Amino acid sequence: MKIIRSEITINASSEEVWSVLAAFHLYPEWNPFIRAVRGNLLAGKQLWFKARLDGLPAILFRATIRQFVPPVKLGWYAIFLKGIFEAYHYFEIEDFGSGKSRFINIEEFSGLLSGVVFFLLESRFKKSYQMMDEALKERVEVYVQ
């Protein structure tokens, strides 16, 4: 299994961060990585995504929500080719109190081709996740508070 992780401290409560993270319909306004999401935000439901790794064309895929624990965790599982390339992407929000939170962005890749994909695209994934983290921070700190 290959893992990519990024995190950022946001000057807002976990509820405020969650309010932006869970508003899928607004992703095109601020999210440079996940450009669009369709579907219901409930455990077990399917979501349809349009995502764009830095410097590459957008990809379309679907995933199933595996973790839904407002306002602290949201995760989905995507199977691109069963046993060949699969991904579990999740976000965690840790509330520090006093109006500060940590947003954690993690993706775990598995399957026979995960090592190759990871080798070829690791730097693009890392950059795209960091761009999303920074955009989320800006969106929350400017628009929510």
Question: Domain range holding 132?
Answer: 2-144
Domain tally for the chain?
A: 1
Q: pLDDT tens digit string along 39-51?
A: 999 999 999 999 9
Amino acid at 74: L
Q: Which residues contact 145 (CB under 8 A, 6 or more apart)?
A: 11, 12, 16
Q: pLDDT tens digit string along 52-97?
A: 998 899 999 999 999 999 999 999 999 887 889 999 999 999 999 9
Q: Are 4 and 126 in contact (CB under 8 A)?
A: yes
C-alpha–C-alpha distance, residues 36 and 26, integer Å: 8
What pTM does this model have? Answer: 0.93
What pLDDT, on a 0 to 100 scale, did the predictor assign at position 144?
73
Q: What CATH number is associated with residue 20?
A: 3.30.530.20
